[in-house]
């Protein structure tokens, strides 16, 4: 059969596929992705399967060390705290609080921030300039300080923390979206689309958005990790989730007074949070590498 | 033999692509000669130079049957040792002059740091003065008139041609045994081109500096070089002394190349079409198997899907299954 | 050059204005009476209240109030603290040196460890040493700072009993506060056993400094590493490799400089992290600095203090960022090129 193409045709995978393939090639990222999935799973259904209520106080078993120590008890896998609450259950609930809420808050910030950023990125002139200065000002304030001030206005508590973190994250999304849109707008294919008579909205939806979606996902992974840190830090400082809440930061803060007697209370929530943060960050890293690699080749 | 490279293969490793950008190329140089390496743009000339000096990035792998430099196989040495030898004996003028100079350091400082200690005669105390003097003489030598200004500039403040001259100055100050000049006169006007070529020629004769002259400009090779190697799409085509090659090319590509230049083709009638091969050079992604000239070669036959071995005949080395002018 | 400076300074000013507006509006946003929030005096008689309202211009339009606020801020009058009833500026200046001292040492540690390690990792890219440095940096980067502090205390104070857990100095010693910088004050004081005091002060410094330096150091390693990798792939480094320089010369003269210059503006991020981390570190180690003071102010709902600290800290951050950019512009010839090209 005559071949109508003398060169062997190479099948190139699509851009998303390529990035995903590259991402999966990196075993560490892949493992961390699975861990993140696991944490999401725990955050969603954990509260229904935890052995005890996080607030249930078993006065018979106070300050029980984790079960692998000789003084431990298998019924309380990771031991209990000073009020006889099961640490394992508290950690599971903490996953929902710290990690689950971070996912949601970051997503909320993404939706609002990207919309604002798209508006700002597509517009020019004095209004956008004022907006940019405002943005610059907000971004120059350390996020935790801003969150602390917002909590100071609203008053301490987990609910207010969520609002504070949301408000802190939005400008970062706006900023990122604006930058990538600006970069994209400079490219020739946009000009070509313009010359073809495409409307601004059309350009945004069909030309720009598919090209920036990955940067936004990347920013999302950063935002989740920042949200976790801020929520936990506020909890730790006693400004977020209140004393006694199973939120990880609050748990750590509660552990300080007992650190002489019950080091596991300080270690276990820390390890959990560390693992979660590490996975999220590594996934973010892997994602960035995969994208960078693709744009290079 | 100063340099003897056999079957050099340079491979580009990529996940979607795995190609030999240079495929079994050979090149050997006599001591004290000017050797031209000629090929179209993209045929892998710069790659060869970089493979020789070990300045390729990690995505390339270099293999060769041998890469002898004065009887020592460079590829068998440790990286440290190899770098030492290259630093001692070779100097290279890179093709992208402005990108090959450190953007954050002034030209003067960059020249200063390559001046070998042996150049200084005076005591330590007069070093500063002496340095300045040597650098200036050097700049004048390569034909930079506003040397003072040039000395104090950063690379990005100079034109491409000036950067090229600076690169040349920095290369010749160390009086290397081998100067690898990758398109050394690319960005210059034709009069300066000639000056630079004369300078290189002078260094060649006076200081016995061998020159590997890499260029796509056949004319300058014919004018200045004694031997040449032709490259097509990463495969060596033919090599030998320039005079022999001109007189009697064995490889179809060589002949075509010479006839495509009116000056060397005495029987071109005015206003007639120049003879060229049909088609164009294949891109790296779509290299034909076997002889890469195959799809364009008028003499191609079915053997040509196998890469031809290089054959030595009357001082030429050529790679073709069906050579011409054999009789 | 001049235009560039003007542009930066313009940015600095507008940003400062935005910040001051934000800080001003806090006075109205905080729960409670603005007069009390701005002045910091909670229990006032009616006439006092009226007087204050007049001096603070709170009976006028928002714009005039803002101008008055700006004027007061410039004169260093941020009102008095709710809890101590002392002028906020005094309180602030009292705790500032401790924070600066701590951050400075942490910054020093960060750079001393971060830059060389990042450089090494970048040069040995993909080799074992790079893998190790990079993995450790990535791992440390993900440890929440408050947990680092707790771990350090757990290990070095409680288990090993090597280092003290909190404060700047053992209560035994009393160093008169002159500059506020403890190490300087010790030198200025006329204590008999200075060397003991120094040892004590340094021992108190180790854990907080280490805690504070972990995160910024990992950031510096990451920035430096990727910058070095980028630079190592540039043609001019390849070219320099054939120029007869030793590896050491190559690295110090060409790689280090080219890698460091472009990341200077990113150091703003470093300061940002540093400020955030300082707040937490100070709380963990009961370090009498600004972070502790702000958190205390929030517990006490000391609104004038919060308002002032937002204004001051944010202004400092912005100034540092702009200064860094200007410094970068001065030292990086390439920046001048870009600037010349766009003039
Ligand atoms: N960094 C690179 N990445 C991928 N391909 C490259 C790169 N540099 C060169 N090539 C390819 O290698 C081949 C040889 O290039 P080069 O040696 O620069 O040619 P020239 O003969 O013009 O100097 C070309 O086909 C080019 O496309
Ligand atoms: S080997 Fe075949 S295709 Fe190649 S040049 Fe010779 S004749 Fe032509
Ligand atoms: Mg080239």
| Mean pLDDT, chain C cut into blocks of 10 residues (343 residues total) | 80 86 86 80 80 79 86 84 85 90 93 94 91 93 91 88 80 77 81 83 91 93 93 89 84 90 86 88 90 88 87 88 86 68 45
Residue C341 lies in a domain: no
Question: Are the beta carbons of A10 and B16 separated by less than 8 Å?
Answer: yes
Is B282 a pocket residue for ligand 1 (Cβ < 6 Å)?
no
- B111, burial (CB in 10 Å: exposed 0-12, middle 13-18, buried 19+): buried
Better pLDDT: B191 or A231 = A231
Is A10 a residue whose pLDDT tops 70? Answer: no
pTM of the model: 0.86
> What domain range includes position C60?
2-74
* Alpha carbons A243 and A222: distance in angstroms, whole number: 28
The CATH number of A14-295, from 3.30.1330.50, 3.30.465.10, 1.10.3720.10, 2.120.10.30, is 1.10.3720.10
Is A1 a residue whose pLDDT tops 80? Answer: no
Q: Are residues C214 and C290 in the same domain?
A: yes
pLDDT of residue A230: 92
Is B230 a pocket residue for ligand 2 (Cβ < 6 Å)?
no
pLDDT of residue A183: 85
Residue B290 lies in a domain: no
pLDDT of residue A9: 56
Residue B31 lies in a domain: yes
Whole-number Å distance, alpha carbon B46 to ligand 3 midpoint, is 4
Residue B305 lies in a domain: no
Better pLDDT: A73 or A114 = A114
All residues of chain B having their beta carbon less than 8 Å from the beta carbon of residue A6 are: 288, 295
Whole-number Å distance, alpha carbon A189 to ligand 1 midpoint, is 26
Number of domains in chain C: 2
pLDDT of residue C135: 92
Residue B43 lies in a domain: yes
Whole-number Å distance, alpha carbon B200 to ligand 3 midpoint, is 19
How many angstroms separate the CA of residue C16 from the nearest CA in chain B?
A: 33
CA C186 to the chain's CA centroid: 24
Residue C311 lies in a domain: no
Structure confidence by residue, pLDDT tens digits, B20-75: 888 888 888 888 889 999 988 888 889 999 998 888 888 888 888 888 888 888 88
pLDDT of residue A295: 66
Better pLDDT: A83 or A95 = A95
Q: Are residues C98 and C17 in the same domain?
A: no
Nearest Cα to C312, choosing from A211, A141, A44?
A: A141
Tell which of B81, B113, B181 to mutate to test the C interface (max C CBs under 10 Å): B113
Residue B202 lies in a domain: yes
Q: What is the average pLDDT across A53-59?
A: 81
pLDDT of residue C210: 94
Residue B234 lies in a domain: no
Residue B327 lies in a domain: no
Dihedral of alpha carbons A69, A74, A75, A76, sign: positive
Describe chain A by its helix, strand, coil percentages, rounded to 5.
70, 0, 25
User: Given the CA of residue B283, which atom of ligand 1 is nearest to it?
Assistant: 25
Which of A181-190, B116-125, C119-128, C249-258 has the least mean pLDDT? B116-125
Question: Are the beta carbons of C158 and A260 separated by less than 8 Å?
Answer: yes
pLDDT of residue A27: 86
Percent of chain A with pLDDT over 90: 32
In chain A, domain spans: 14-295
Q: Which chains does B contact via 3+ CB–CB distances below 8 A?
A: A, C
Number of domains in chain B: 1
Judged by a CB distance cut-off of 8 A, whether residue A22 touches chain B is: yes
Q: Are residues C14 and C121 in the same domain?
A: no
Structure confidence by residue, pLDDT tens digits, A84-118: 888 888 999 999 989 999 999 999 999 999 999 98
Q: What is the average pLDDT across A175-194?
A: 86
Strands (E), C76-159: none
CA torsion C67→C71→C73→C78, rounded to 10°? -90
Structure confidence by residue, pLDDT tens digits, B65-104: 888 888 888 888 888 888 888 888 888 988 888 888 988 8
pLDDT of residue A101: 94
Is B16 a pocket residue for ligand 1 (Cβ < 6 Å)?
no
Whole-number Å distance, alpha carbon B291 to ligand 2 midpoint, is 6
Q: Are residues C33 and C101 in the same domain?
A: no
How many angstroms separate the CA of residue A7 from the nearest CA in chain B?
A: 6
Nearest Cα to B322, choosing from B259, B258, B255?
A: B255
φ, ψ of residue C302 to 5 degrees: the values are -90, 80
pLDDT band at B220 (very low <50, low <70, confident <90, very high): confident
Q: Nearest by CB to B100, which of C236, C245, C337?
A: C236
Residue C21 lies in a domain: yes
Is B320 a pocket residue for ligand 2 (Cβ < 6 Å)?
yes
Nearest Cα to B173, choosing from C243, A90, C314, A33?
A: C243
Residue indicated by tokens 């190139």? A12
Q: What is the average pLDDT across B234-239?
A: 88
* Alpha carbons B184 and A122: distance in angstroms, whole number: 46
> What domain range includes position B97?
3-104+154-227
Which of A58-62, B95-99, B177-181, C322-326 has the least mean pLDDT? A58-62
Whole-number Å distance, alpha carbon C239 to ligand 3 midpoint, is 14
Q: Nearest by CB to C240, which of B96, B102, B116?
A: B102
Cβ(A215)–Cβ(A263) under 8 Å? no
| Interface residues on B facing A, Cβ-Cβ cutoff 8 A | 14-17, 282, 285-286, 288, 295
Question: Are the beta carbons of C245 and B91 separated by less than 8 Å?
Answer: no
Tell which of A26, A39, A148, A272 to mutate to test the C interface (max C CBs under 10 Å): A148
pLDDT of residue C40: 77
Is A2 a residue whose pLDDT tops 60? Answer: no
Q: Whose C-alpha lies nearest to ligand 2, atom 5?
A: B320
Ligand nearest to the CA of B22: 1
pLDDT band at A282 (very low <50, low <70, confident <90, very high): very high
Is B299 a pocket residue for ligand 2 (Cβ < 6 Å)?
yes
CATH of the domain at C113: 1.10.3720.10
Calculate Rg over the CA atoms of chain A.
24
Q: Are residues C209 and C246 in the same domain?
A: yes
Which of A5-9, A80-84, C2-6 has the least mean pLDDT? A5-9
Dihedral of alpha carbons A153, A156, A159, A163, sign: positive
**Structure tokens given for A231:** 């929520």
Q: Nearest by CB to B90, which of C242, C245, C253?
A: C242
pLDDT of residue A107: 96
Question: Are the beta carbons of C143 and A285 separated by less than 8 Å?
Answer: no
- A4, burial (CB in 10 Å: exposed 0-12, middle 13-18, buried 19+): exposed
Using DSSP, state whether B291 is helix, strand or coil. coil
pLDDT of residue A8: 54
How many angstroms separate the CA of residue B109 from the nearest CA in chain C?
A: 10
* Alpha carbons B169 and B138: distance in angstroms, whole number: 6
All residues of chain A having their beta carbon less than 8 Å from the beta carbon of residue B15 are: 22, 297
Mean of all residue pLDDT scores within chain B = 84
Q: Whose C-alpha lies nearest to ligand 2, atom 3?
A: B294
Residue B309 lies in a domain: no
Which residues have their alpha-adjacent CB atom under 5 A from ion ligand 3?
B 46, 95
How many angstroms separate the CA of residue C18 from the nearest CA in chain A?
A: 6
* Alpha carbons A170 and A117: distance in angstroms, whole number: 9
Q: What is the average pLDDT across A75-92?
A: 84
Which of A36-40, B298-302, C102-106, C125-129 has the least mean pLDDT? B298-302
pLDDT of residue C214: 93
Instruction: Return the ∠ at Cα A87 (arms to A84 and A91), rounded to 5°.
Output: 145
Question: Are the beta carbons of B295 and A6 separated by less than 8 Å?
Answer: yes
Better pLDDT: A46 or A13 = A46
pLDDT band at B264 (very low <50, low <70, confident <90, very high): low
Better pLDDT: C21 or B261 = C21
pLDDT band at A235 (very low <50, low <70, confident <90, very high): very high
Q: Which residue out of B18, B42, B96, B214 has the highest number of ligand 1 atoms within 8 Å of its CB and is therefore the one to mutate?
A: B42
Mean of all residue pLDDT scores within chain A = 85
Cβ(C287)–Cβ(C168) under 8 Å? yes
Which of A55-59, B205-209, B223-227 has the least mean pLDDT? A55-59
Q: Are residues C69 and C102 in the same domain?
A: no
CATH of the domain at B42: 3.40.50.300
Q: Are residues C6 and C133 in the same domain?
A: no
Is B321 a pocket residue for ligand 2 (Cβ < 6 Å)?
yes
Is A207 a residue whose pLDDT tops 70? Answer: yes
């Amino acid at each position: 059969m005559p071949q109508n193409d003398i060169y062997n045709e190479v099948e190139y995978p699509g851009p998303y596929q390529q990035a995903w393939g590259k991402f999966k090639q990196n075993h560490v990222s892949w493992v961390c992705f699975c861990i993140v999935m696991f944490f999401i799973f725990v955050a969603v259904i954990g509260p229904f399967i935890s052995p005890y209520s996080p607030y249930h106080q078993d006065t018979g078993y106070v300050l029980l060390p984790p079960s692998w120590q000789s003084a431990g008890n298998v019924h309380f896998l990771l031991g209990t705290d000073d009020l006889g609450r099961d640490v394992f259950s508290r950690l599971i609930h903490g996953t929902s609080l710290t990690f689950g809420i971070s996912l949601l808050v970051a997503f909320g910030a993404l939706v609002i921030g990207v919309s604002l950023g798209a508006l700002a990125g597509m517009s020019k002139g004095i209004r956008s300039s004022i907006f940019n200065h405002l943005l610059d000002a907000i971004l120059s304030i350390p996020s935790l300080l801003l969150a602390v001030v917002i909590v100071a206005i609203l008053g301490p508590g987990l609910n207010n923390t969520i609002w504070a973190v949301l408000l802190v994250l939005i400008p970062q999304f706006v900023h990122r979206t604006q930058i990538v849109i600006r970069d994209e707008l400079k490219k020739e294919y946009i000009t070509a689309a313009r010359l073809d008579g495409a409307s601004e909205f059309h350009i945004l939806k069909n030309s720009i958005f598919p090209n920036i979606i990955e940067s936004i996902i990347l920013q999302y992974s950063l935002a989740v990790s920042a949200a976790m840190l801020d929520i936990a830090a506020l909890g730790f400082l006693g400004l977020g989730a209140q004393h006694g809440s199973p939120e990880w930061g609050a748990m750590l803060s509660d552990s300080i007074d007992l650190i002489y007697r019950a080091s596991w209370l300080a270690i276990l929530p820390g390890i959990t949070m560390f693992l979660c943060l590490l996975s999220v960050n590594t996934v973010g890293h892997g994602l960035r590498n995969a994208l960078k690699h693709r744009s290079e080749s | 033999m100063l340099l003897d490279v056999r079957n050099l293969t340079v491979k580009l490793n990529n996940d979607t692509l795995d190609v030999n950008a240079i495929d079994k190329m050979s090149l050997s140089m006599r001591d004290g000669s000017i050797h031209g390496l000629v090929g179209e743009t993209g045929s892998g000339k710069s790659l060869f130079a970089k493979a020789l000096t070990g300045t390729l990035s990690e995505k390339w792998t270099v293999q060769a049957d041998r890469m002898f430099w004065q009887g020592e196989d460079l590829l068998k040495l440790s990286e440290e040792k190899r770098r030492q030898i290259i630093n001692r004996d070779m100097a290279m003028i890179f093709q992208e002059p402005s990108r090959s100079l450190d953007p954050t350091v002034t030209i003067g400082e960059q020249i200063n740091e390559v001046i070998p200690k042996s150049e200084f005669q005076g005591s330590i105390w007069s070093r500063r003065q002496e340095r300045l003097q040597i650098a200036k003489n050097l700049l004048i030598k390569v034909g930079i008139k506003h040397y003072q200004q040039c000395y104090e500039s950063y690379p990005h403040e100079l034109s491409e041609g000036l950067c090229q001259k600076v690169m040349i100055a920095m290369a010749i100050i160390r009086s290397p045994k081998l100067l690898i000049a990758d398109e050394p006169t690319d960005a210059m006007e034709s009069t300066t081109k000639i000056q630079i070529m004369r300078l290189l020629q002078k260094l060649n004769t006076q200081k016995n500096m061998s020159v590997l002259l890499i260029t796509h400009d056949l004319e300058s090779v014919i004018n200045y070089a004694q031997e040449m190697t032709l490259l097509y799409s990463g495969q060596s085509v033919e090599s030998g002394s320039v005079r022999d090659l001109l007189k009697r090319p064995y490889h179809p590509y060589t002949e075509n190349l010479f006839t495509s230049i009116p000056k060397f083709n005495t029987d071109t009638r005015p206003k007639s079409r120049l003879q060229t091969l049909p088609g164009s050079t294949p891109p790296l992604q779509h290299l034909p198997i076997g002889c890469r000239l195959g799809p364009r070669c008028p003499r191609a036959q079915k053997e040509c899907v196998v890469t031809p071995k290089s054959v030595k005949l009357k001082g030429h080395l050529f790679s073709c299954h069906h050579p011409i002018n054999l009789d | 050059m001049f235009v560039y400076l003007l542009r930066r300074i313009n940015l600095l000013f507008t940003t400062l204005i935005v910040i001051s507006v934000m800080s001003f509006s806090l006075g109205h946003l905080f729960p409670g009476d603005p007069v009390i929030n701005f002045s910091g005096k909670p229990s006032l008689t009616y006439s006092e209240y009226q007087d204050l309202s007049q001096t603070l211009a709170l009976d006028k339009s928002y714009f005039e109030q803002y101008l008055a606020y700006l004027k007061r801020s410039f004169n260093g009058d941020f009102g008095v603290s709710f809890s101590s009833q002392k002028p906020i500026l005094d309180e602030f200046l009292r705790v500032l040196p401790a924070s600066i001292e701590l951050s400075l040492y942490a910054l020093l540690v960060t750079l001393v460890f971060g830059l060389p390690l990042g450089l090494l990792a970048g040069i040995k890219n993909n080799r074992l040493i790079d893998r190790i440095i990079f993995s450790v940096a990535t791992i440390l980067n993900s440890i929440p700072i408050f947990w680092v502090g707790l771990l350090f205390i757990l290990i070095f104070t409680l288990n090993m009993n090597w280092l003290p857990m909190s404060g700047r100095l053992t209560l035994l010693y009393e160093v008169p506060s002159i500059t506020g910088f403890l190490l300087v004050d010790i030198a200025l004081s006329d204590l008999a056993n200075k060397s003991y005091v120094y040892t004590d002060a340094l021992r108190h410094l180790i854990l907080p400094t280490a805690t504070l330096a972990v995160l910024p150091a990992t950031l510096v390693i990451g920035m430096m590493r990727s910058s070095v990798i980028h630079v190592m792939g540039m043609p001019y480094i390849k070219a320099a490799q054939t120029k007869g320089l030793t590896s050491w010369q190559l690295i110090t003269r060409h790689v280090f400089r080219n890698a460091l210059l472009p990341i200077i503006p990113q150091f703003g991020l470093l300061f940002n992290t540093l400020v955030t981390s300082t707040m937490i570190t100070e709380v963990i180690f009961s370090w009498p600095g600004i972070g502790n003071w702000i958190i205390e102010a929030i517990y006490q709902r000391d609104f004038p203090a919060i308002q002032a600290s937002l204004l001051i800290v944010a202004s400092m951050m912005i100034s540092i960022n702009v200064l860094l950019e200007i410094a970068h512009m001065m030292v990086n010839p390439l920046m001048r090129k870009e600037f010349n090209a766009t003039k």
